[in-house]
A and B are shown apart, each in its own frame.
Chain A
Amino acid sequence: MNASSGKSVVILGATSGVARSIARRFGALGYAVGLAGRDREELEILAADVRARCAVACAILPFDATAFETHADFLDQCAQVLGELPGGVVLCFGYMADQALAQKDFEVARRTIDTNLTGAISILERFAAAYEARGNGFIAALTSVAGDRGRKMNYIYGAAKAGLTAYLQGLRNRLHASGVRVTTIKPGFMDTPMTYGMSLPGPLIASPEAAAKAMVDKITRGKDTAYVPFFWRYIMWIIKSIPERQFKKMSV
């Protein structure tokens, strides 16, 4: 497999909720796709899908966000299976545990931080260094609207995602001069396993296909920050503008 003739991307956490739709969307745009994750069997299924559906090259890569020591070799593996270091990376992995559980059990809280924040920094720093040296590339990551304001419902997860959002801001600032683009995606509710079975108002929930289309569009256009669907920008603007002395009494 050789991606050097065209565009290529690697998806981290490719079996998660919206990630498979993101992979398909990149494939439809003609990108060679690398799918990275832990569930090898499922990755093979997704890779076959991208190949058949989009007629592009697609390879799988073993990847574990919290196996930090393996991250050093990951870029080499990407280059091996894709023929070169991919043109961009999209970070889709995440871990959201039950808030009450995370409050009781520090191991759960730590896993939340380790996966969403530490793991992200560990792997993205390596891509950042390689892309900075190369002088091009794109880095995108899915954070969360939960990181925009801490709430009692999920503030440990929110803290990790807020950290990731701040990290991406800084990274964007650092890489701007080298021509590497960094995109922060803040998804609202999507119809994925994370929300399945919750009673959420129907019009607020985006299908993974529609959400992925919007995200890939923002990424390929090199946007800095994007809420998906777009109206979450306004929802979060309202939530952020509530004074703290009121907010602390609320249940949102």
Chain B
Amino acid sequence: MSFTVAKQSLSGWGRYKPQECAVYRPERRSELFSLLDSGAPRPFIPRGLGRSYGDAAVNPEGSVIDMTRQNNMIRFDPETGLLECEGGVSLAEILEAFIDRGYFLPVTPGTKFVTVAGAVANDVHGKNHHCDGSFSRFVESMDVWTPARGILTCSDSENSDIFQATVGGAGLTGVILKVRLRLRRVESAYVKVDYQRCNHLDAALETMAASDKNYLYSVAWVDCLASKESLGRSVLMRGNHALASELPSKLSKNPYRLPRRPTLAVPVDFPGFALNRWSIHAFNTLFYATNKDTRAKIVDYDKFFYPLDGILRWNRMYGKKGFIQYQATFPFSERAGLVQMLERLAQAKRASFLVVLKCFGEAGSGMLSYPMPGYTLALDIPNRPGLEEFTRELDRILLDHGGRLYLAKDALTAPETFAAMYPNLDAFREMRRSLDPENVLRSTMSRRLHLDK
């Protein structure tokens, strides 16, 4: 078989430092296997919808295998909610197919335009992490193609070490072919949300600690430009799936029907100056001022979970040079670190809007899985001169307080920094060596962080 290759300039969603890659896109399953066995120049890395922010699915040497056409569903059991599907199925497709039948995703990140395999490879978390843990908790089992050992089925009980290396493993242990995922039963497509303003970080954290347990979903939006007595002022957005009986009569006839809304797109790159400290300051101030405390507001899932998905290619707002996303987690005992980071951000005025704060629950079993109990903060930083020095500073604060960074967001950190944050890194490398001794799977990220050592 011969395969068409496309030369594409690839980056993560942050569009930070794109690289020229040779990309294959198998349509049929038989084509995928031919590519994996010998057709695709090695080393290669599988790529889904390209929503991880950094260099996890970029590989200018060898090739990249675009998995988005490997998106067949295989079977669904309406009794148990167990869905078996190929790795390239997107979360958006799952929602579209199953919300009518009363099923929702068990865990969802802030975009539905990710593949199931991408969700596993980054062990993504959602607003319900404090209750439910991360995505891999709902993966009953999966089939992974590995270079040295062929196709393996793994789960928390079968080949559990391979499972633990693969969840959060950034695609470096193998290609995730099939996933068996437990969906969540819901009574409607709506969430009942309480909005609450807190005028300082302390108030926000206290409120979360006191009452997050009443909500399946909890997240806070933080004005990272506010400082001093307003440091960390936030709008808490917390909610639960709405029961059919809780919907207004207009919606309760069709509890799974979403309101129609137009999809917008950012048609071109914004000029670099469009997002500056004044426009962002104005946005943040306005957002805080207009979000009055509201209780039990009924919001559809698209609006609650995926506010940015309504604007296609929103990453163009940051202009041609792109941006990075920085996500930091501090253990609960290290609140001082969180304060120090917020103070640094407020002072530097580099971060953009969309700073999100959340409390994580228990860690999962993945060797490189990101979540651990503590406070997590996620923010966009536009690419301007001095970016690397600035993130090194943030890294330092994190290291000093026993915190860690998220591979799905990272584009810049140093290998020693990463190693100091992930105590199971050596176990991961050892597992990886047994599955891929010849380094068939590599990416710009694996080279940068020495994950494939």
What's the count of A-B pairs with C-beta under 8 Å?
46
How many Å from the CB of B29 to the closest CB on chain A?
6
The answer to whether A49 touches B101, judged by C-beta atoms less than 8 angstroms apart, is no
Contact assessment for B97 and A42 in the assembled complex, using a CB-CB cutoff below 8 Å: no
- Is residue B85 contacting chain A, with contact meaning CB distance below 8 A? yes
Q: How far is the CB of B256 from chain A (nearest CB, A)?
A: 14
**Given that A52-B73, A52-B75, A55-B101 are known contacts, is A45 also in contact with B4, CB under 8 Å in the complex?**
no
**Residue A39 CB within 8 A of the other chain:** yes
> What CA separation (Å) do A28 and B5 show in the bound complex?
32
* Majority secondary structure, B binding face: mixed
Which A residues are CB-close (under 8 A) to B25? 196
Q: Is the CB of B101 within 8 A of A39?
A: no
Cβ contacts under 8 Å, B29 to chain A: 41-42, 45
Indicate the size class of the contact surface on chain A: 10 to 19
Q: Which residue of A lies closest to B5 (CB)?
A: A197
Residues in A16-71 with C-beta less than 8 Å from chain B: 17, 28, 39, 41-42, 45-46, 48-49, 51-55
Which listed residue (A15, A49, A54) contacts B28, Cβ 8 A? A15
Per-residue 0/1 for B71-88: is the Cβ within 8 Å of any A Cβ (1 yes, 0 no)? Answer: 011111010000111000
Contact of B30 among A42, A46, A193 (CB under 8 A): A42
Closest to B23 in A: A197
B311 is an interface residue with CB less than 8 A from chain A: no
Q: Is the CB of A48 within 8 A of B28?
A: no
Across-interface contacts of A49 in B (CB, < 8 A): 72-74
The residues of B that contact A28 with a CB separation of less than 8 Å are 97
B6 at the interface (CB under 8 A from A): yes
- A96: shortest Cβ distance to chain B, in Å? 13
Q: How many residues of B contact A (CB 8 A)?
A: 20
- B27 interface residue per 8 A CB criterion: yes
Q: Once the chains bind, are A197 and B72 in contact (CB under 8 Å)?
A: no
Given that A42-B28, A55-B101, A196-B25 are contacting pairs, would A48 and B6 also be in contact in the complex, using a CB cutoff of 8 Å? no
In the complex, residue of chain A having the shortest beta-carbon distance to the beta carbon of B72: A49
Complex CA gap A15/B26 in Å reads 13
Give CA–CA (A205, B264) in the complex, Å. Answer: 18
Q: Give the CA-CA distance A244 to B101 in the complex, in Å.
A: 56
| A46 in contact with B4 given A41-B30, A196-B25 (CB within 8 Å) | no
Query: What DSSP secondary structure best describes chain A's contact surface?
Result: helix
Check B75 against A48 for contact (C-beta < 8 Å): yes
Q: How far is the CA of A49 from the CA of B71 in the complex (A)?
A: 9
Give the docked Cα–Cα distance between A55 and B93 (Å): 14
Q: Is the CB–CB distance between A52 and B28 below 8 Å?
A: no
A48 and B72 form a contact (CB under 8 A): yes
A53/B4 in contact, CB under 8 A: no
B73 close to A53 (CB less than 8 A): yes
Residues of A within 8 A of B84 (CB): 52
Please, how many angstroms separate the alpha-carbon atoms of A30 and B450 in the complex?
A: 50
Q: How far is the CA of A197 from the CA of B6 in the complex (A)?
A: 4
User: Nearest Cβ distance between residue B80 and chain A, in whole angstroms?
Assistant: 13
The smallest C-beta distance from A158 to any residue of chain B, in angstroms, reads: 22
B152 to chain A, nearest CB (A): 20
Q: How far is the CA of A197 from the CA of B21 in the complex (A)?
A: 12
Taken together as a complex, chains A and B put the C-alpha atoms of A42 and B33 apart, in Å, by: 13
Q: Is the CB of B6 within 8 A of A39?
A: no
B22-71 residues with Cβ-Cβ distance < 8 A to A are 25, 27-30
Instruction: Name the distance in Å between A209's Cβ and chain B's nearest Cβ.
Output: 9
Output the least CB separation between A195 and chain B (Å): 10
Tell me, in angstroms, the Cα distance from A177 to B74 when the chains sit together.
43
Does B74 lie within 8 Å of A193, measured CB to CB? no
CA of A1 to CA of B120 in the docked complex: distance in angstroms?
36
Query: Nearest chain-A residue to B100 (Cβ)?
Result: A55
B1-19 vs A: 1/0 string, CB under 8 Å? 0001110000000000000
Residues of B contacting A54 with CB < 8 Å? 97
Contacts of A17 in B (CB 8 A): 27
User: Which 4 A-B pairs rank lowest in CB-CB distance, beginning with the nearest?
Assistant: A52-B73, A49-B72, A197-B6, A197-B4
Known: A49-B73, A52-B73. 10 other contacts (CB 8 A): A41-B29, A42-B28, A45-B28, A49-B72, A51-B75, A52-B74, A52-B84, A55-B78, A197-B5, A197-B6
Taking beta carbons and an 8 Å cutoff, which residues of A are in contact with B? 15, 17, 28, 39, 41-42, 45-46, 48-49, 51-55, 193, 196-197
